[in-house]
Structure 1
Amino acid sequence: MSILISPDSFKGSLSALEVSQAIEKGIQMVNPDITTLKVPLADGGEGTKEAMIEATEGKKLTVETTDALGRTINAQYGITGNNNTAIVELAAASGLDKIEENDLNPSIASTFGTGVLIRHAIENGSKRFIICLGGSAANDGGLGILKGLGFRFKDKHGLLVDEGGLSLMKIAEIDDSQIVKGLNECEFKIACDVTNPFVEEKGASHVFGPQKGASTTVIKNLDKSLNHFADVIEEKYEVKIHNMEGAGAAGGVAGGLCGCLKAELCSGFDLVASTLNLKKVLSGNDIELIVTGEGQLDSQTENGKVISGITTLGNQFEVPSIALVGGIQSITNSLYDQGLIAVFSIVNKPMSLSQSIANAADLITKQTEQIIRLYLAKN
């Protein structure tokens, strides 16, 4: 019997690899002769870099760069084991978690530090990129990233504009004559699971601005700035991003990169699954069962999260899935329709959240043991 172990991380507790190892331990407690194949997963958000490095035996590279306020920091990006793909998480350099709440200021915050990471990867030979959005402290439409790659943005006087979301309003010209060598040969795919457009009420500034520290007045000005930037991009590259679905992700980074780099917006899980060749894994290893999981099952699970994604993929190969989760907030029949046969919480007695987090690995192992005993008894 072969079992594919493909969970997401349990955020705040265990990485996807650590969850996989805990599940494997529980399986081996029942029968050490069961073949297990560990492929840790992610949905394109936090933890994607780690999961893909672990699954492909890749590596991390540390680069000196800057945070969203221009302060020097060290940040990492990943390279898959076949050296084929660079994985850059926006939050690694430009994240909210790098800035104290009182210092948040999307008017001047920049994604330049993420551009430095991408440039470093290009200069080291990378041609294929997965850009993971989420957790950005900036609302600059990707201005900083593009500046880090050699784009120059000039005002009506021919002077270079400053960093930050409000600087977008001053742009009169995009000069791409000095972009980093090899950039035009690169392929960019953006892990994006939101549908917000670039501008207006459901756009980047109005929806995501408040969490970045923007007041009502600032939000309106940021939206006007993004709209102006979209106009300039359309004039230069003939790409209209104003109402593009998903373009508003991460303070408009998705739209800016689509407009200037011809980046492609993709489902986060689908990107991960494609990069890890999950279809080949499922078709070529006589897999009989998938054990997956994530920290919490809720209303978002069925919309491109790991449990939904791997279950749907397994169902294409007639492989059933069982999920382990920290908590079950809600569950819909659609997950069962996708191929999930059961969901189990790892909590086996009354305990606090902090207790379940502290003991997650042991709880996962014990629950996995019981699941496999039941599954084998019924098969």
Structure 2
Amino acid sequence: MKIVCVPDSFKGSVTAAEAAAALAAGARQVCDEAEILQLPFADGGEGTLDALLAVWGRAPERVATVDALGRETEARYGLSPDGRTAIIEAAEANGLPQVSDVPLQPLRADTYGVGLIARHVLEGSVNGTQVEEILLCIGGSSTTDGGTGILRGLGVEFLDDGGAPVQPGGEGLGRIASIEDSGLPPRAGEVRWRIAVDVDNPLTGQRGAAAVFGPQKGAEAEEIKVLDEGLGRLAEVLAAKTGERADSYRSAEGFGAAGGIPLTLVSLLGAEVVPGSTMVAEAVGLEEVLAGADLVLTGEGRLDSQSLGGKVVDAVASRAPDSAAVVVIAGAVQLSAAECRAHGITAAFSIAPGAADLAELQAEAAGLIEDTAAHACALWKLR
């Protein structure tokens, strides 16, 4: 028998690696004769760096950078064992937690610190090998600058109609008249950039970056208007430079992720926007690991309708062999049995042993995941 444990993290409780270990421990209680594999997984949001490092068996690299308000900080990033692939979790530099000690500043916050990490990655090497691919995970941002800060960190200037650099952050977007990219390192355009997104929102409009995600970054109604118009202006300037239509930038699916980060990276660096779970699946060889599995154990904090739209559980279920049983272990299960079966999930179990509040479940999550996995495996073994 082959059992594969491939969960997401349980946010606020256990990492993906810890969840995988707990699932495996539960499986061993009743299926100790089976081959049991652990593959921590993520969907490209926060926690993806840790998940990939666990799979790669690597410790994080560290680099000095700045947060979204320009304050000095240190960020982690990851390198694959062969040094050819780097993973950058943007929130290490522009994340909301990094600026939670002060009032949010949605017009000022920018992604410059993410650009500093990227420059460091591009300039470095491991045993003479330079990075050929950058996986950029952009969830959890506090910024709405269209990715201009990242490009500034790489040497690009965004200028007003007088030829002076505009103010960093979202506030300066509406004054951009031209872009000077002669300072961009050649390698920035030579490596493969892939941007992991888990939303399909366009850049501007009622479903755009500012309107939908601006409030959680502290933006009030007037600030949302400034940011939305600024992103539209940036799209126009970039379109004039690249020969594309501005409307294609404004309406492209996923360009509204993380305050519009995909906009500048796609237009100036040829980056690819991909579903986060797809990017991670390719990076860790998910289909190869799942091949020949008899039972697949996956899980996350909450199994609900969002889980079926490209998140970890959906990615695992859609790639599992047809002959395998796919069992979800979750903090809460909010899908019916029929909904689960319709999406390739054999069964789903909550780790809650009875009436319990969130704090209790989080504190005991690892043990509860293990125990629930043991119950599920015992039922499966009776088939």
Q: Aligned in 2, Cα 1:119/1:331: closer, same or farther, shift over 3 Å?
A: farther
Distance in 1 between the 2:166 and 2:132 partners? 28
**What count of residue pairs does the alignment treat as equivalent?**
375
Q: Quick one: which amino acid aligns to residue 4 of structure 2?
A: L
Distance in 1 between the 2:336 and 2:90 partners? 30
Q: Quick one: which amino acid aligns to residue 291 of structure 1?
A: L
Q: Given the alignment, which residue of 269, 272, 284 partners 2:280?
A: 272
Q: Quick one: which amino acid aligns to residue 353 of structure 1?
A: L
Identity of aligned residues (%): 38
Task: Give yes or no for the alignment of 1:355 onto 2:360.
Answer: yes
Structure 1 residue ranges, 4+ long, deviating more than 6 angstroms after superposition: none
Give the superposition deviation at 1:196. 1.2
Query: Match of 1:296?
Result: 302
Please give the TM-score of this superposition, normalised by the length of structure 1: 0.95
Q: Aligned in 2, Cα 1:203/1:332: closer, same or farther, shift over 3 Å?
A: farther
Distance in 1 between the 2:207 and 2:102 partners? 25
Query: Match of 1:111?
Result: 111
Q: Quick one: which amino acid aligns to residue 265 of structure 2?
A: L
**Aligned ranges 1:173-184 → 2 under 5 Å:** 173-184=178-189
Give the superposition deviation at 1:320. 2.1
* Residues 275-300 of structure 1: CA deviation (Å, up to 9, x unaligned): 111122223xx321101000111120
Are 1:106 and 1:212, in contact at CA under 8 Å, matched by a contact in 2?
yes
* Residues 32-59 of structure 1: CA deviation (Å, up to 9, x unaligned): 2221111110011111111111112233
Q: Given the alignment, which residue of 185, 190, 195 partners 2:195?
A: 190
Query: Match of 2:99?
Result: 99
Structure 2 unaligned spans of 5+: 125-129
Query: Match of 1:339?
Result: 344
Distance in 2 between the 1:166 and 1:90 partners? 20
Give the superposition deviation at 1:303. 0.5
Q: Given the alignment, which residue of 369, 374, 379 partners 1:369?
A: 374
Distance in 2 between the 1:120 and 1:25 partners? 39
Q: Quick one: which amino acid aligns to residue 36 of structure 1?
A: I
Give the superposition deviation at 1:183. 0.9
* Residues 214-270 of structure 1: CA deviation (Å, up to 9, x unaligned): 111111111111111100000111234111111111111122221222111111111
| Residues 6-15 or 97-106, more deviating | 97-106
Q: Given the alignment, which residue of 283, 287, 310 partners 2:316?
A: 310
Q: Aligned in 2, Cα 1:206/1:31: closer, same or farther, shift over 3 Å?
A: closer
SS in structure 2 opposite 1:242? Answer: helix
Task: Give yes or no for the alignment of 1:203 onto 2:211.
Answer: no
Task: Give yes or no for the alignment of 1:152 onto 2:184.
Answer: no
Distance in 1 between the 2:293 and 2:216 partners? 43
Q: Quick one: which amino acid aligns to residue 285 of structure 2?
A: N
Structure 1 unaligned spans of 5+: none
Query: Match of 1:171?
Result: 176
Are 2:201 and 2:208, in contact at CA under 8 Å, matched by a contact in 1?
yes
| Residues 80-89 or 133-142, more deviating | 80-89
